[in-house]
Amino acid sequence: MNTIGLIDPDRLQNIPEKHWAEHEFCFHLHDLMAALLVQMEIQKAGHIRFETGSEDDRRLLASGIHILDFLDKSGRGELERRAVVNHVCNALFSDMLHFIYEALRALEKRKFTVAFSLLRKPLKEGMLIVAQMCADEGAFFDRLKADAKNLLSRRNLDEAGIKALLEAAMKLSRGCSFTNPDKVYDAVFNYHNDQGFAGLFDKATHLVTEFRRNQTEDYNLNFIFKNPEDDDIYAGGTYAQLAMLILVLHIMQIELYRRMGKASKKYQNWMLFTSVGAYEALFTKGRSRMTNFVNSNFAEFMQCRLCEAQLRIKKVNAPRLFIGERLYCEQCLADQHFPFGWLLSKVDLDLFED
């Protein structure tokens, strides 16, 4: 089974077959983030409520003051911060998702420079803003209010600064332990990592790059002679890094929504189990703890509907079950629907109490 079954196979034809499920998984993570964002908008999760009791409040409001200034001047600074952070959070994730979506579509068409040029903004810049919100909401708000131009200043965000920021944000976001700040840094910011995105981002965005770490070669302009038939971008660990980064973003997104008081623990458990499970199955070596968990806890439900054979899930088929909700019977070759998410919601999960 080379696919999870989420994307029309016609769209996958230009991607080497062994990366189909990886590509679908990245799209799945994008779709989860988009669905959560839409859900939060529908529930008006970013809105705040307060009573306007006093005569002073009424007089201040009647003066035509901006609502944020009103909150500040009427001693409701906490609420002002909440309102601003909520508002920025939704708008920022929306912006990031537009770029990630188009980048994934570009990868389907082998438009590599377009893909990496699009990924640069959400992964290199959006990621650091999201991390600042997660790590220290108060400091983020103060800087946004009084010094927004320096939110991504290199003075604070050198290698040590980025790693410290990622560490603080990831520590506060439940589920990030499937990776670590060094891996995120290496994937996005480390020019010494030949497999990472840092050099690709710059060369995809600029025709000429002059820093020695990532210089344009003589007789060349960045990427203009890149052969679209080359498979090196797919083979070079792009999807493993992309999936890790989008998953980290989604985990931070859930943490930010939790602070708005709106994230469901059940959703978080389901997302972490299925997404981290699929990530481990697709990109890591060795046994998968989620696959083992399923085989030992759900065995009584896992019989083939046609031939009644006892089914066991193999690591290679885990993404298809966890995300596509399909089970394959090796005895009669039937591919059947299996309500995995529903079943998961019936058990208490404590795999992510980190």
Q: Is 130 in the site for Zn ion (CB under 5 A)?
A: no
| Contact between residue 227 and residue 173 where contact means Cβ atoms under 8 Å apart | no
Give min distance, CB of 296 to Zn ion, in A.
21
Give least dist CB 340 to Zn ion, A.
17
Binding mask 251-290 for Zn ion (x = CB under 5 A): ----------------------------------------
In contact, 344 and 313? CB cutoff 8 Å: no
- Least Cβ distance, residue 312 to Zn ion (angstroms): 12
Amino acid identity of residue 49, one-letter, is R
Q: CB of 328: closest distance to Zn ion in angstroms?
A: 9
What are the φ/ψ torsions at residue 10 (nearest 5 degrees)?
-60, -35
What's the closest the beta carbon of residue 255 comes to Zn ion, in angstroms? 42
CA angle 237, 112, 21 (to 5 degrees): 45
What would the two tokens of residue 330 be? 């090796």
Give the shortest CB-335-to-Zn ion separation in angstroms: 10
Nearer to Zn ion, 54 or 331 (CB): 331
Is-contact 315 288, C-beta < 8 A? Answer: yes
Q: How far apart are the C-alpha atoms of 344 and 354, rounded to whole Å?
A: 19
Give whichever of 31 and 335 is closer to Zn ion, judged by the CB atom: 335
| Identity of the residue, 309 or 343, whose beta carbon is nearer to Zn ion in the bound complex | 309
Question: Where in 288-347 is the site for Zn ion (CB under 5 A)?
Answer: 304, 306-307, 309, 329, 331-332, 334
Residue 111, CA atoms < 13 Å, CB-side half-sphere: 13
What is the C-alpha to C-alpha distance for residues 54 and 76, in angstroms, rounded to an integer? 13
Contact between 110 and 147 under an 8 Å Cβ cutoff? The reply is: no
CB closer to Zn ion, 14 vs 331: 331
If the CB atoms of residues 38 and 306 are measured against Zn ion, the closer one turns out to be 306
Based on its alpha-carbon atoms, the radius of gyration of the chain, rounded to whole angstroms, reads 23
Q: Which is nearer to Zn ion, 39 or 336 (CB)?
A: 336
Number of residues that bind Zn ion (CB under 5 A): 8
Restricting to residues 202-221, which ones interact with Zn ion according to CB under 5 A? Answer: none
User: Which residues in the 36-95 window bind Zn ion by CB under 5 A?
Assistant: none
Q: How far apart are CA 84 and CA 71, in angstroms?
A: 11
The one-character DSSP state at 327 is E
**Cβ 325 to Zn ion shortest distance, Å:** 17
Tell me which residues touch Zn ion (CB under 5 A): 304, 306-307, 309, 329, 331-332, 334
